[in-house]
Structure 1
Amino acid sequence: MAERCARRFAVTETKPSLKIPGRTHLTRNKSKRFGARTGASGKAKKSQSTSPTPAKVWRTGPKPLPVRPGTNAPSPAHGPVFRHPTNNLVVLYGFHAVREALRGKRRKSLDIYATEAAARRLEAEIAGAGLSPHIVTAEDLARRLGTGAVHQGLMLETLPLPPLDLSGLVSQSGIVLVLDQITDPHNVGAILRTAAAFGVDALVTTERHAPELAGVVAKAASGGLEHVAIVRVVNLARALEELGEMGYLRLGLDSEAETSLAKIALWRPLALVLGGEGKGLRRLSRENCDVLVRLDMPGAIKSLNVSNACAVALTLLHAGTTIGSIPI
């Protein structure tokens, strides 16, 4: 054992110049002490630093938009954070729908998301509503609204309009529109736009079998949703009875009616009742009208799309072409 230890000690003490034929040099290379690697030439490579080197960050996609004073930062790479859809959240999009909602101040606006160009177009209205726009891209809005939504770079998150019942109607023009299960959002939006143009007091519609008064309806209404009072009822027949008790003349528009709208005695206030696409007025709705009227169509086709029929009827009512003891 003592001899073995002596030999081991002797190897350790071998001078650097000593080489044993056929064997590797026994003197340790100090450069290998810390794990340095050697190349083909046997020379040690420079040891790498153990401190981490910051990785270079590469950006993808469009260059971020600059942040204007009074605006929120552009959306991050993963996109902006929108509110989760709830029954108490209304989403409006499109230039006119958003602009009129901001101007009207009938509803509580929560947040607005806009491209930089769109935010500049509505800078005064946004500031007037006390909002700071979230700058986003058109692609961000398309992901939230769907690729078919014509958002024009604008989306507004708001609370619903305050509810209104028939007893709260304030008559100015003396005309109310009643929709009997019209389900197409584009038709309802077009009717709202026409109603706003003709100064209609209110639009009465059902809670069920009617589109949500937001999104597509608001876009098609082009801001009209903010200028017409909305009354949602559970029972339309009962609502028509109540309108009759309030003194409204109830006109049901029906392409098969015997009486022409242009040849009937009218008075205000009146309620123009419009039937759903294809099926028209339901039985109880017809029974709760004072009179059914038609539009005179000189051409081969005797009926119109419900939104177009509404526009023609309101034109007749406001042009004074109706004949009656109390002209309107």
Structure 2
Amino acid sequence: MGLKHAVEAALKNPDRSHRKLWATREGVESLDGELPSDFPVEWAQPADLARLVAKDAPHQGLVLECAPLDDMFLADVLDGDPARPVVVLDQVTDPHNVGAIMRSAAAFDACCIVTQDRHAPPESGTLAKSASGALEVLPGSRGEPRPRTRGNRRSGLLAHRPGWIGRIDARRGPSHRPGRTRARRRGDGMRHNITQHCDAIAKLPISEAMESLNVSNAAAIALYAAATRETE
């Protein structure tokens, strides 16, 4: 992983299996908290660290090697607070977008994020950089949960559809739980077999001068709409 915030969050996560930290002296001094005395650190120069990470994942003097987090079972996550939304992504393949969506989902207290087994990026330094620590606090699950689970409703997000997301009632029965928000992707939008499993399809009220928004921006707005609707 690159980026200081992602490394700090991973080091503080007790569910992470840490292997080694490559770092400059300045990088370690910048950490929020001290490393355990027995933590494996290999001191390096900035140029050496740059060769360990992708060009779009600046290291800031820190590169952490660690094992990927285990996927969560969706049923276990849903046993928690029923008022928290679940974000489901359909064929969002850019790790920058997925990381940014994770950051917004964590900011708006989403329950978890669900990606596909295929057509979804694996955990990486680029994704962790974009998530800026959210990768460590937001549970993740892979798969396509289509059957209805305990009465929850699903809201899909597509351009050129009537009804905007703030007016869609995506709540279930007595608990008034926000529905799962499926973010629109560029191109053809959500696949037909996915839209068939949505209870409602909505859009964002953007100007006709713009055809659509980046999927991470759209997801952030949808999560805000769900959060504010919950408190109205």
Same fold (TM over 0.5): yes
Render the CA deviation track for 1:184-223: whole Å, top value 9, x for unaligned.
Answer: 1111111011111111110000121111122111101111
2:60 maps to which residue?
152
SS of structure 1 residue aligned to 2:36: helix
Residue 231 (str. 1) matches residue 141 (str. 2)? yes
Q: Which residue, 213, 216, 221 being the options, matches 1:312? A: 221
Q: Which segments of 5 or more consecutive residues in structure 1 lack a partner in the other structure?
A: 1-91
Flag the 1:265–1:160 CA change in 2: closer, same or farther, 3 A: same
Is residue 115–residue 135 contact of structure 1 (8 Å, CA) maintained in 2? yes
Residue 103 (str. 1) matches residue 9 (str. 2)? no
Flag the 1:126–1:279 CA change in 2: closer, same or farther, 3 A: farther
Q: Which residue, 173, 182, 191 being the options, matches 2:92? A: 182
Residue 114 (str. 1) matches residue 20 (str. 2)? no
Is residue 107–residue 162 contact of structure 1 (8 Å, CA) maintained in 2? no
Q: TM-score, normalised by structure 1?
A: 0.64
SS of structure 1 residue aligned to 2:141: strand
1:240 maps to which residue?
146
Is residue 181–residue 275 contact of structure 1 (8 Å, CA) maintained in 2? no
**1:259 Cα shift?**
1.9
Is residue 240–residue 250 contact of structure 1 (8 Å, CA) maintained in 2? no
Within-5 A mapping of 1:268-283: 268-283=177-192
**1:146 Cα shift?**
4.2
**1:248 Cα shift?**
1.7
1:138 maps to which residue?
46
Within-5 A mapping of 1:36-75: none
Find the aligned partners of 1:230 and 1:137 in 2 and give their Cα distance.
Answer: 34
Find the aligned partners of 2:100 and 2:91 in 1 and give their Cα distance.
Answer: 15
Find the aligned partners of 2:39 and 2:32 in 1 and give their Cα distance.
Answer: 10
Within-5 A mapping of 1:12-91: none
Runs ≥4 in structure 1, deviation > 6 angstroms? none
Find the aligned partners of 2:88 and 2:97 in 1 and give their Cα distance.
Answer: 13
Deviates more, 1:246-255 or 1:138-147: 138-147
1:251 maps to which residue?
155
SS of structure 1 residue aligned to 2:35: helix
Deviates more, 1:250-259 or 1:170-179: 170-179
SS of structure 2 residue aligned to 1:280: coil
Find the aligned partners of 2:49 and 2:14 in 1 and give their Cα distance.
Answer: 24
Is residue 103–residue 125 contact of structure 1 (8 Å, CA) maintained in 2? no
Flag the 1:160–1:146 CA change in 2: closer, same or farther, 3 A: closer
**1:264 Cα shift?**
2.5
**Relative contact order (C-alpha < 8 Å, sep 6+): which is higher?**
2
Q: Which residue, 162, 170, 175 being the options, matches 1:266? A: 170
Is residue 170–residue 200 contact of structure 2 (8 Å, CA) maintained in 1? no
**1:266 Cα shift?**
3.2
Q: Which residue, 152, 155, 168 being the options, matches 2:76? A: 168
2:123 maps to which residue?
213
Q: How many residues align?
A: 225
Find the aligned partners of 1:131 and 1:313 in 2 and give their Cα distance.
Answer: 41
SS of structure 2 residue aligned to 1:308: helix
**1:261 Cα shift?**
1.4
Letter in 2 for 1:258: P
Is the radius of gyration larger for structure 1 or structure 2?
1
Letter in 2 for 1:176: V
Q: Percent identity?
A: 36
SS of structure 2 residue aligned to 1:126: coil
SS of structure 1 residue aligned to 2:114: strand
Is residue 112–residue 132 contact of structure 1 (8 Å, CA) maintained in 2? yes
Find the aligned partners of 1:189 and 1:146 in 2 and give their Cα distance.
Answer: 15
Is residue 165–residue 231 contact of structure 1 (8 Å, CA) maintained in 2? yes
